[in-house]
Amino acid sequence: MKYKRILLKLSGEALMGERQYGIDPKILGEYADQIKEIHDKGVEIAIVIGGGNIFRGVAGASNGMDRVQGDYMGMLATVINGMALQGALEDKGMLTRLQTALKIEAIAEPYIKRRAVRHLEKGRIVIFGAGTGNPYFTTDTAAVLRGVEVHADVILKGTRVDGIYDSDPEKNANAVKFDSITFEDVIKKGLNVMDSTAFTLSQENALPIVVFDMNQKGNLLKICEGENIGTVVKI
Annotated binding site for ATP: 9-12, 52, 56, 159, 165, 168
DSSP designation for 95: -
Contact 36, 96 (CB under 8 A): no
Burial class (CB in 10 A: 0-12, 13-18, 19+), 20: exposed
Pairing relationship of beta strands 180-182 and 231-234 according to DSSP bridges: parallel
Altogether, the residues listed in the chain come to a count of 235
DSSP code at position 138: -
Strand 209-213, strand 231-234: pairing: antiparallel
Binding-site entries:
9-12, 51-52, 56, 71, 132-139, 159, 165, 168
Residue stretches of the annotated binding site for UMP: 51, 71, 132-139
Residues 158/11, Cβ–Cβ less than 8 Å? yes
- Closest by Cα among 143, 150, 144 to 49: 143
Query: Number of C-alpha atoms within 13 angstroms, CB side, residue 110?
Result: 4
CA separation for the pair 54, 56 (Å, rounded): 7
- Residue 146 and residue 128: Cα distance in Å, rounded? 8
